[in-house]
Structures are given as C-alpha cells and as structure tokens.
Amino acid sequence: MLYREAGQFKTNYVADQAIFPIRQDRIGMAIVLLFAWVIIPAFGSDYFLEIIMINFLFFSLAAIGLNILTGYTGLISLGTGGFMAVGAVASYKLAVIFPDLSIILVFLISGLIAAAVGIVFGLPSLRIKGFYLAVATLAAQFFLDWLFLRVDWFTNSSTAIEGVPKTVFGYLVTGPNAEPFAKYYVALAFVSVFALLAKNLVRSAIGRAWMAIRDMDIAAEIIGIRPLPTKLLAFAISAFYSGVAGSLMLFLFYDSAEPDLFDINLSFKVLFMVIIGGLGSIAGSFMGAAFIVMIPIILTNAPDLLGLPISSDLAKHLEFMIFGALIVFFLIVEPNGLARLWQIAKEKLRLWPFPY
C-alpha cells in the first residue's frame, strides 16, 4: 500500500489530534504490536527473547527517559546510569524488605524513588546548562556509584544485588528460574504502557513547555512558563523512566548484578542511543536502542556466518569504532538521528513517484 496522506481529509480536530493521524502509520503500529505481543513470543527462541528482546526493551525505556530530558527539554545528562542504579537497588531492597509487595508495585515505587533523586540532582539546572550541567549530572553519577558501592546497607552487605523471584497471577516472572517468555511479557507490558504515556506527554502542554525551554528559554518565560518546575518535572519523569529501566534490567535480564554495572559507561550507552535514534523522538528512542543492542550481536555472529572468523577482541574494537563514527556522523550530519532519516524516507515516499 502506498504511503499517502492524500484523500485522508480530517473533518475535525479530534482526528487530527490522534496519536497517529495517518492511516498507514496506524497500520504499521498495529503490525509492530502484533509482532511484539504475539509473533515474537510464539516463535522466538529463548536466546532471542532474553539476549535480544528484553535487552532491547529495558534500554528503550531508559532511552525514552533520557530523550525526555535531553531531546525534548534540551538538558544534557550523563547521570542515566546512576538513576538506573537507584531503580535497581530500590527494587532489590523493596522486594527483600516487603516480600508480599507485588513486583509491579516494586518497579513503580522504585521509579518514584529514582524520580525523587532525579529532582535533587536536577536542581542545578535552573542556573547552569550545556556543558556545565553535563558535568553536574556526571557528579551525580559518580556520587551514586560510590554510594551503592560503599554503603553496605544498599546491597545487604553482599557484593551483588539480586533479582528476587516474584510471581504475577501465580506465575513466576523474575529471578533465574523464570521462563524467558514470562520475563519478556513483563518487560513488554511496561515498555508498551510507558512509551504510550511518554508519547502523550510530549504532544501535550507539558511537552510543548519542555520544547519551548529547549528552543528558547527566554521566550518561554515571556509566555509564562516557569523554568524551574518545568525542568524539574523533566528530570523527575526522566529519572522515573531510568529507574524503572534499571529495575527491569536487574530483575528481568541480569538476575544478579554488582552495582558498578550501572557506571558511567551505561550512561554513555543510553546517551548514544538517544543521539543515534534521534533527539526529541519517542520512536527514535526505540530505533537507537535496537541499533546499539544489535551491533555487538551482529559483530560477534556475522563474521562466523560469513566464514570470516575475527577474534572477540577485534569485534570489541570494531564495535567502538563503529559507535564512534556513527556518533560523529549523526552529531554533524543528522542531529535528529535515525528517526529523522525514517521521516525523510516517508516524506519521499509520500511524493513518490512524482518528486515535485
């Protein structure tokens, strides 16, 4: 079917305000959901569900969170790893201290705790921006790393925090013995719901306030936006998403993790996802996460399939080089990332075959 808007006249604003006003986009979305909810769990191997899909899902959530802060509000953060650590540690502690608390609530409350931490570390953003704010969030990252490594209470005096086994409707969904597809459904449910909520936020008044601050904070004030609450809300919501992503990462992917897993490298990884996927795009957050999750997997498997064995060291180096080159490319050539390239492709398609 051709990708066309023509002939789809919107007779009222309700239709135009719909989440996907163009019919082909709605069909595309339905297909994506069909794959995610039915086809992948039905036919995907355990390896595919765990190593690729769950990995991709919690990173998507983290990328959406960072995109709200950096892409939509224009506040650069290198503290994502720290906020994810807060979520992971909080959910571990909650699950241990309150054994009867539903795992869904554990994840949500962990997100709220991360949001509170995000607000505290977001306070400097009233006065500083750009490079200096990035350094301030970096300080948050280092502080949180240090806190969870040094203060035994957070890890119950062990070296690692663990994904405590929990059930939903009597079905084991977390911990090492949970089945991959059960874990997958939990991750998918969280990501589906929170991606939708994020999309709604960015197309509402608060999203416009964020973008106004990003594009020109002076003019934003003139129309009555108060910078501090607006920025702090972005920090809170962003940290909430990071926190929940951290919880999912621990409970659905690693099962057991040392706190230094959530270090500055993780912050950079999520930042790369946002840059490559597209600043200021929810769909781009997914694209960036997919891209960065897939590249190492492709690099370790493709050469074998092609009969060109390369050492795992070389694969690792290649991975860094490819990331580096892509970051430079996207920063210079297409700051709006894969999402923008996708949009351009759609615009071309809309005009095809008569480009003028």
Partner 1 sequence: MTAATLERPVPPVQSEGPAPAARRNFSEELLKVEDISLSFGGVKALSNISFDIRKHEIRAIIGPNGAGKSSMLNVINGFYHPQEGTITYKGNARHQMRPHEAAKTGIARTFQNIALFKGMSTLDNIMTGRLLRMRRNFLWQALYWGPALKEELEHREKVEAIIDFLEIQAIRKTPVGRLPYGLQKRVELGRALAMEPELLLLDEPMAGMNVEEKEDMCRFILDVNDEFGTTIALIEHDMGVVMDISDRVVVLDYGRLLADGTPSEVRANKQVIDAYLGVSHD
Q: Which residues bind partner 1 (CB under 8 A)?
A: 13-14, 17, 19, 197-198, 200-201, 203-209, 211-212, 214-216, 218-226, 233, 237, 280
Cβ nearer to partner 1, comparing 237 with 252: 237
Cβ nearer to partner 1, comparing 13 with 169: 13
Cβ nearer to partner 1, comparing 89 with 233: 233
Cβ nearer to partner 1, comparing 205 with 333: 205
Least Å distance, CB 42 to partner 1, is 31
Least Å distance, CB 190 to partner 1, is 15
Q: Is 2 within 8 Å of 23 (Cβ atoms)?
A: no
Cβ nearer to partner 1, comparing 1 with 223: 223
Cβ nearer to partner 1, comparing 149 with 211: 211
Least Å distance, CB 52 to partner 1, is 29
Least Å distance, CB 13 to partner 1, is 5
Which residues neighbour 54 within 8 Å (Cβ) at sequence distance 6 or greater? 180, 183, 184, 187, 248, 252, 253
Cβ nearer to partner 1, comparing 172 with 211: 211
**Nearest one of 197, 242, 195, 244 to 94, comparing CA atoms:** 244
Name 162's bridge partners: 256
Task: Mark 212-230 as b/e (b = at least 16 C-beta within 10 Å).
Answer: bbbeebeebeeeebebeeb
Which residues neighbour 155 within 8 Å (Cβ) at sequence distance 6 or greater? 89, 92, 148, 161, 259
Question: What's the N-to-C CA distance of the chain in angstroms?
Answer: 21
SS3 category, 161: strand
Least Å distance, CB 230 to partner 1, is 10
SS3 category, 167: strand
Least Å distance, CB 218 to partner 1, is 6
What does R_g of the chain's alpha carbons equal in angstroms? 21
Q: Is 248 within 8 Å of 187 (Cβ atoms)?
A: yes
CA distance 64 to 316: 26
Name 168's bridge partners: 171
Least Å distance, CB 219 to partner 1, is 4
